[in-house]
Amino acid sequence: MKKRRIACLLSALLTLLLASCSSQDKHDDMNREMDKSKEVKANDSLNWKVGSFTYTDEKGKPFSLNQLEGKVWLANFIFTNCETVCPPMTAHMTKLQDMLAKEKITADIVSFSVDPKRDTPKQLRAFGKKFDSDFTNWHFLTGYSQKEIENFARDSFKAAVSADPTSDQFTHGTSFYLVNSKGNVLKRYDGVQNVPFDQIVKDTKAAADQAKNDHHTQKEENADEIEPVKVELTISEKDTPTIQAAVSQNGKPVNDADEVLFELWRSGGKKHQKIEIKKGENGIYSMKTHDLKPGKYVVISHVTARGMHTMPKKKFMVQ
């Protein structure tokens, strides 16, 4: 009897211990999921690509992602009939706009309406004015369907947008997003309660500085590219026609061409003359023609210069 009681007691203790472990495992799993969520929000390199768009701004004009090419910008999602978070979010964005201007940091701001049916350009402009928004570099966008903005917010910013079926309000994200000059979302921040204003300004400056460096690097790379040699072939049709080949590269005359050869023949004829021009002045290689019978002629200038070859062709008439 005692053995049976002891066995039952051990069984009960084992069951309790397993339940406790299971509960702890679930708690640990929840903590891990919360930590993952925090890691995503704090991630410095989200690198989400913003999808291409062409919408309508507060002036009623088309505004597209192309107009932000090469620029750093901040983004958020709002609507003018919002009764809760949108007013403080917009006020906070105004503060950021002022802080960036004070620090002379070049950046645009884009606020996407999640209520495009009611938010006309006029409504958005009036809403922006209430918060002293500077429309020079702050764009309030509308001009799309409800489904379109829901898909765009999800695909580009990993943000949920949906209409509340029980009211005229909308569910939407309250984050501010930093987008670099290549159109990639770098960071997201709390836009309502704990807005890290100084950090956003610091991060925006870093992104703007990087954009400048990328621009200068691109210019240097373009400068190193070899420009093609250009040849402009002209014929002066006077008493004695003069054939000229103006040779240039990157807008500057080429006087060191390896070879300039004029190939000349009468239209329909089989006999071709080839005359080499040894020297050019200010990039002009010319030849006067003599003893040409009246009729139509064709000339090709064969120009070899700086590792390139080009051969423009032209027709002219001898009276």
Q: Give the SS3 label for residue 52.
A: coil
In a domain, 120, yes or no: yes
In a domain, 57, yes or no: yes
> For strand 295-305 and strand 308-310, is the pairing parallel, antiparallel, or unpaired?
antiparallel
In a domain, 20, yes or no: no
Greater model confidence, 8 or 278: 278
Average pLDDT, the chain: 84
Asked whether residue 74 carries a pLDDT value surpassing 70, the answer given is yes
Same domain, 188 and 245: no
Domain boundary among 223, 240, 275: 223
- Number of independent structural domains in the chain: 2
Please compute the mean of the pLDDT values over residues 265-279 and round it to a whole number: 87
In a domain, 236, yes or no: yes
In a domain, 311, yes or no: yes
Domain boundary among 223, 246, 262: 223
How far does Cα 170 stand from its chain's mean position? 29
Distance CA(22)–CA(229), nearest Å, equals 77
The domain that contains 311 carries what CATH number? 2.60.40.10
Kind plus residue range of the DSSP H or E element containing 285: strand 284-288
Domain with 200 in it: 48-223
Same domain, 134 and 270: no
Please compute the mean of the pLDDT values over residues 14-33 and round it to a whole number: 39
Q: Residues 131, 134, 139, 141: is their CA dihedral positive or negative?
A: positive
Distance CA(85)–CA(193), nearest Å, equals 9
Same domain, 181 and 195: yes
Domain boundary among 203, 223, 243: 223
What's the confidence (pLDDT) of residue 317? 83
Q: Give the SS3 label for residue 177.
A: strand
In a domain, 166, yes or no: yes
Same domain, 77 and 197: yes
Q: Which two tokens stand for residue 79?
A: 């609507």
Q: Which two tokens stand for residue 184?
A: 């990639």
HSE on the CB side for 83, CA within 13 Å? 5
pLDDT band at 41 (very low <50, low <70, confident <90, very high): very low
Please tell me what DSSP assigns to residue 105: -
First and final C-alpha spacing in the chain: 135
pTM over 0.75: no
Q: How many CB atoms lie within 10 A of CB 208?
A: 20
Q: Give the SS3 label for residue 95.
A: helix
Q: Give the SS3 label for residue 199.
A: helix
Distance CA(174)–CA(89), nearest Å, equals 7
Query: What contacts 106, CB < 8 A, 6 or more positions away?
Result: 71, 72, 208
Q: Which amino acid is at 119?
A: D
Please compute the mean of the pLDDT values over residues 314-319 and round it to a whole number: 84
Same domain, 64 and 203: yes
Instruction: Tell me the helices (H) and strands (E) count for the chain, helix number first.
Output: 5, 19
239-270 pLDDT, tens per residue? 678 899 999 998 889 988 989 999 988 888 88
Asked whether residue 105 carries a pLDDT value surpassing 70, the answer given is yes
Same domain, 204 and 261: no
Please tell me what DSSP assigns to residue 235: E
What's the confidence (pLDDT) of residue 4? 46
